A and B are shown apart, each in its own frame.
Chain A
Amino acid sequence: MSGVLLIGRRGADPAGTPPTQRVRVNARLGFGALGTGHARLTVVATMFALAFLILGGRLVNLVAFNGDRSANASASIATGQSVRGDIVDRNGVVLASSLAVASLYAEPRRIADPAQAANALLAVLPTLDFGDVYEKLSSGKSFVWLHRHLTPTQQMDVNALGVPGLSFRAEQRRVYPHGALAAHVVGYAGIDNHGLGGIEQYFDAELLADGRQAGALALSIDVRAQYALHEELAAAMEEFQAIGAAGLVLDAHTGEVIAMVSLPDFDPNQMGGSLADGRFNRASLGVYELGSTLKILTIAMALDFGVARLDTEFDATEPLRVGRFVIRDNHPEARWLSVPEIFIHSSNIGAARIAIEVGADRQQEFLARVGLMSRADVQLPEVGAPIIPSPWRDTSTMTVAFGHGIAVSPLQFAGAVAATINGGWAVPPTLIKSDGPVDPHRVLSTDTSEAIRRLMRLNVLEGTGTMAEAPGFLVGGKTGTAEKAKNGLYQSDALVSSFVGAFPMNDPKYVVLALLDEPQGNERTNGYATGGWTAAPVVSRIISRIGPLLGVVPVNTIPRTAQQALFISLDGRTAGAAF
């Protein structure tokens, strides 16, 4: 530096050339000291410039963009605590939602006169207990809850008291506008906003994390169908004084559960008063020996393995003796029966003989294929595992053929029936609105499925299921009556009566299942409490109500040829060479 200055002074220039120019001249001349000095100056100047640029940049950043605080951060501050997501039905009807409510708490240390404050509070919140409130207010703590989830009116009343030391905290309250209607599907959330049952529990993390922003969780349930099912089952349960009932409507092609009811049920808005029996989901958690309805699968399996054709006959002349068991028919025909006859007379002997022909291994393999050998994979925490014979003896093969010795949940059974009539595709039941299974695969042939459709229709026209007929909807189905086992013995007065049906049978769209737990016969049913007398009429009424709702075209507009195509003769010979 000093070198540069010296040169400037020494070379006195009368013209008064600026010193900088002189320096440049000297540097060009190649003086060593001058060159070094100039280089140093440049480095220092550059560094200063850079420093100022960085400072300037940071300044602009701070002023214009508020540093690193992004706009998103302020958004989440504005919306406050995350709101638990809504649950809606397949048409967008709200089944569960969160409301902002105020909860009352006190800071007892700031309460001057606990007795007076407690009295004032009781005047506006009569449900509180004086002793309890007084104890809390005089506890000297810094925080106690007094009343969670006040209504806006209650909040206003408490505010009007003007008692210092009482405050509100904004909280979420889960509300279920439809109450008990879909209680077992939707489930419920506890006071701290965590799911404790049903969909609420299964999707707890998702509902909490995504919140309302992610959009509502759309279930496969249709509230209108749910209501029809709920009402009809409740009426039947009352008429036959049953201890419980379960029902399902399943889309036969997508596996979507359109309606699912278990009775008795509970009001998720008031979980405090509900009984354990009400919380028990008979449709998915309960497993039952379903009785003769399983003959659908027995015959489907025999046809599919080619063991029998529709016109194959089996000997049902006399009861079948197996070890210490005797397999009897409830309405003995006491002759050889064709496959359609076994089905419509619900012959246990015939079904057992068919199962023997198929064999235990293939029977188990088939039942596993349609999903009866393992727990159903459905979006509920309450799913019952089936009870299957272990070890699987020959006796098991025979009893399972007519639905005894194996207990499955109505939900998984409805899924299995759907597969036998929808053309043979596996349809695991789902509670979420969807377009069908992600991996469509076949579990039985189209021909078998076609035969089962006809058999089920025949059974409603001519067999044990006549009471399930709903004019116009071509109902098909199978009855089931099983005695409940108590302490290892079957009880003749404790039945599980069921009916599984589908409609319209020329192209089944929906599977409907109704089950009554311990129904009692009455005058109208001549004292019978069997599936054909108790559950079949329920299915008939349900189909009459939901058919038009779900857009199923009734039969009087279906060409006669379509109806005739469903006909099948009792000896099984005129239904076509395929069977």
Chain B
Amino acid sequence: MSRVSVITAVPVAAAAVLAIALYAMKYEVARLETRAGHLERSLAAQMETHGVLQSEWSYLNRPDRLRELALRHLNLVPVAVHQIGALDEIPLRAVPAVAENRDPLPRVKPTALPSAQMAQVGEREAP
């Protein structure tokens, strides 16, 4: 292979490679742009739907409508002032006195109870 042909062949090859690369890239870009267009249109449609749904939600949450629904379906009235309290106001349950400040022992398993007593307990709880 003469030098002339090398000098010619290299640029020709480069041109061919570039042409193919450009061709591929152009199609890739076109494809991506179509996809972007689709996404944008879809986004616009979704935003529109979202707006409609938000308006609808706001419309359905009109205070007068909620009041009517609450009156019809709920047996509730607004919270009265005396029903509101602070956590501090709830008294803690008193600690039962323990002899000699010792920790209480676990209770005995109730198998020791006579069977008659057990039956009575059962009857009492039945009704």
Q: Which A residues fall within an 8 A CB radius of B?
A: 18, 56, 59-60, 63-66, 71, 74-75, 78-80, 83, 86, 93-95, 97-100, 175, 177-179, 181, 212, 223-224, 227, 231, 471-473, 545, 548, 553-557
- Tell which of B40-48, B106-114, B117-125 binds the partner: B40-48
Q: Which residues of B contact A (CB under 8 A)?
A: 3, 18, 22, 25-26, 29, 33, 36-37, 40-41, 43-44, 47-48, 51-52, 54-59, 61-64, 78-79, 81-82, 84-86, 89
Q: How far, in whole Å, are A181 and B52 apart by their CA atoms in the complex?
A: 20
List the A side residues contacting B62 at CB < 8 Å: 177-179, 181
The answer on a CB contact under 8 Å between B84 and A548 is yes
The answer to whether B84 and A75 have CB atoms under 8 Å apart is no
Does more than half of chain B's interface fall in helix, strand or loop, or is it mixed? helix
Chain A residues closer than 8 Å to B58, beta-carbon distance: 93-95, 97, 177-178
CB-defined A-B contacts under 8 Å, sample of 18? A60-B22, A63-B26, A64-B26, A78-B41, A78-B43, A83-B48, A95-B58, A98-B51, A177-B62, A178-B62, A212-B47, A212-B51, A227-B63, A231-B64, A472-B81, A548-B84, A557-B84, A557-B86
Is the CB–CB distance between A556 and B22 below 8 Å?
no
Chain A residue with Cβ nearest B40: A78
Given A64-B26, A74-B33, A224 contacting B89 (CB threshold 8 A):
no
Q: Which residues of B contact A78 (CB under 8 A)?
A: 37, 40-41, 43-44
Chain B nearest CB from A16 CB (Å) reads 11
Chain B proximity of A222: nearest CB distance (Å): 11
Chain B residues within an 8 Å CB radius of A80:
44
Known pairs A64-B29, A212-B51; A79 contacts B44 (CB<8 A): yes
Are A94 and B25 touching (Cβ within 8 A)? no
Expressed in whole angstroms, the minimum distance between the Cβ of A225 and any Cβ of chain B is 10
By a CB distance below 8 angstroms, the chain A residues around B81 are 471-473, 548, 554-556
Q: Pick the contact of B79 from A18, A64, A212, A548 — CB < 8 Å?
A: A548
Q: Which of B3, B25, B59 contacts A64 (CB 8 A)?
A: B25
A59–B21 CA distance with the chains assembled, in angstroms = 12
Contacts of B57 in A (CB 8 A): 94
In the complex the two chains form, is B22's CB within 8 Å of A97's CB?
no
Instruction: Give Cα A74 to B57, complex, Å.
Output: 32
Q: A99-B51, A177-B59, A224-B63 are in contact. List 16 more A-B contacts (CB 8 A).
A: A60-B22, A63-B25, A63-B26, A64-B22, A64-B25, A64-B26, A66-B33, A71-B36, A97-B54, A100-B48, A178-B59, A178-B62, A548-B78, A554-B84, A557-B84, A557-B86
**B-chain residues with CB within 8 Å of residue A554 when the two chains form the complex:** 81, 84
Assembly CA distance A75 to B44 (angstroms): 9
Q: Which residues of A contact B37 (CB under 8 A)?
A: 74, 78
Kindly list chain A residues whose C-beta atoms are within 8 Å of the C-beta of B59: 177-178
Write the nearest CB–CB distance from A118 to chain B, whole angstroms. Answer: 32
On chain A, the residues within 8 Å of B40 by CB distance are 74-75, 78-79
- Chain B residues near A74 (CB-CB < 8 A): 33, 36-37, 40
> How far in angstroms is the closest Cβ of chain A from B85?
6
Contacting residues, chain B, for A18 (C-beta < 8 A): 3
